[in-house]
Structure 1
């Protein structure tokens, strides 16, 4: 873990301006549901922090800046974080129909404002998830909604399948998504019919998996059973995950993996069985 940053006091007047101008989100589930943290556990809606978006209506474009803050229960921007998987904060952005997914890492300034460019070429409603560890707390995931200007043309959710192709790679999914109980999922990566055995570490692991429930965009963020630095961890082709799906229904899975110095994302639809 990297050294945590020293908390910097923020001018009260400027904080008040941001409290008014920033769109605010807290619960990970978008419509008053329960909070779901990155490991799939359920906590109370109030977790002591809020996600404040600089704008909730953004223009369409290829590199649109998104600015936001994490505020504590007193409304003060948080500037003191602990690294988790080599980053101080992971930002996940998904369109409401789950047809667009981005996993990015914003830059933090001294005032507590994060900023990152997003590819927002597809108009529509989006959900933003901030996944982080405050210096004096446990892992937290916060969510907020935003809209990208333009004509929204929602796409149907792809049918469930156990294979996905991306950038010349084939990823195969094995294991059952079971609601309300631990599930083990294994994803195997191949290229041109051959297993990939030289995956590169990405954020300290050989793969990162995000699951989003289609019905209401409830979010789970899970990590492999073994970190890349663990003795005996193979660099592919298989990446195994432990997770728990909170309920039955359709979920979209997004697997990020790195090979040949590029990050690729394989996408799956699965049905959580009760």
Structure 2
């Protein structure tokens, strides 16, 4: 049966309208995709680790780069993984061994960990006033029990962080930072946090931090190292990078690991080092920069204010 001219015209109008709608949706999708790939874009929600990695694929190829952990590390449990320990107190003024285990969603100790920056486990200790920073690499027994040999601790409340990536199970490839607190008995004397500044001195070196990160946004951060006013160009690799940068938030000791982006080229690092920073909360952060020269490890600390 042959359709009337009016019916044919109506069909053509509907088809044209459908094509226009489809084209508009396609263009909107393209525009949304481009926006989400822009560095630092939030769109009202924090991107997942996987989406952040897809947005900046080149970062995963940088020396020492691992998957950035999600969260502030202030819990002992995440996604079924738990940091457990029977140690609730540690002695003051002398070396102490802290023993702990990471259990998986099945409740069993995890023993298979991926290597991140040359180590299977990074362990940090910080006192509640952000003093006494220690960065260790504990050893694991066959049953999954880890032992971190801590240097002498001052009396007070300490938070101990375990940073790791399971190499098997449901959390395979996911970076975790879990923590627990311990008490070191004795009279605790609180140290006031040094004021925010752009530079500090350590072991004859001057470390200058450049950048103005905003809370919750990805932002580049650079560190410049000089000695006697002259640029330092003999930094040695440490943990497969030229510097390791860790940050803790004043008040709650929230954790942030700032990932290096400077390519390693033998013992010729410096004077400027680049980092990928995402500090989730406003306020003062205490940054601890570790770098190596002449076989000696240096640790510089500086306070950074984040808007």
Structure 1 residue corresponding to 2:93, chosen from 57, 61, 69: 61
Structure 1 unmatched runs, 5+: 1-35
Q: Does 2:115 align with 1:83?
A: yes
For residue 178 of structure 1, the aligned residue among 211, 214, 235 is: 214
Asked which structure has the greater CA Rg, the reply is 2
* Residue 245 (structure 1) shift: 1.5
Query: If the length of structure 1 is used for normalisation, what is the TM-score?
Result: 0.81
Cα shift at 1:193:
2.1
Residue deviations 1:236-273 (CA, integer Å, cap 9, x gap):
01111011111211111111111110111111111111
Shift in CA distance, 247/209, structure 1 to aligned 2, threshold 3 Å: same
TM-score normalized by the length of structure 2: 0.72
Q: For 2:276, what is the secondary structure of its paired residue?
A: strand
Instruction: Trace 1:86-165 onto structure 2 (pairs within 5 A).
Output: 86-136=118-168, 137=172, 138-165=174-201
Structure 2 residue aligned with 1:207: 243
Question: Does the Cα contact within 8 Å between 1:39 and 1:243 map onto a contact in 2?
Answer: no
1:48 alignment counterpart? 80
CA distances 1:79-109 after superposition (whole Å, capped 9, x unpaired): 1111100001000110000011000000111
Query: Quick check: 153-162 or 186-195, which moved more?
Result: 186-195
Distance in 2 between residues matched to 1:270 and 1:215, nearest whole Å: 14
1:190–1:87 CA distance, 2 compared to 1 (3 A):
same
The DSSP-based 3-state class of the residue aligned with 2:200 is strand
The 1:133/1:40 distance shift into structure 2, 3 A limit, reads: closer
Partner of 2:273: 239
Aligned residues: 236
Partners of 2:262 and 2:94 in 1: how far apart? 35
SS of the residue aligned with 1:100?
coil
Residue 68 (structure 2) aligned to one of 33, 39, 44: 39
Residue 148 of structure 1 and its aligned partner are, at CA, apart by 1.0
Post-superposition offset of 1:74: 2.5
